[in-house]
Amino acid sequence: MLKRFLLVAAAVFVLSGATLFFGNYYLWPLGSQWFIIGAVVLVAVIFESSRYRPKIDRNAAGWEPTGERFVDPTSGKLLEVRYNPTNGERDYIEVR
């Protein structure tokens, strides 16, 4: 929800900035600022989701169950926690 809002707001800033920059001679400084702010937010939101996701190799050997189980508040599914002592990673797997 927040991601969609930021994408829409950034797109509005980019379009408004471009309109002000090219449409009115006296408002080009404001238009350039809006365009730059919108473009920075747009790029940040798009690349944020791929950058901060952990890359976990679930096929690697050494995963041990920790005995922890909980219901994920977002999806409502029961998850089990596994731990890899060789590198310290934790993984959450849906219990079926």
> Other C-beta atoms within 10 Å of 10: how many?
20
- Name the percent of the chain lying above pLDDT 90: 47
CA distances in angstroms from 76 to 71, 73, 82, listed in the order given = 6, 5, 19
In the predicted structure, residue 8 carries a pLDDT above the cut 70: yes
Name residue 70's beta-bridge partners.
79
Give the pLDDT confidence score for residue 58 in this predicted structure: 76
Average pLDDT estimate for 10-15 = 94
The pLDDT tens digits for 33-66 are 999 999 999 999 888 766 666 677 777 788 899 9
Average of per-residue pLDDT across 61-88: 90
- Give the predicted TM-score (pTM) of the model: 0.54
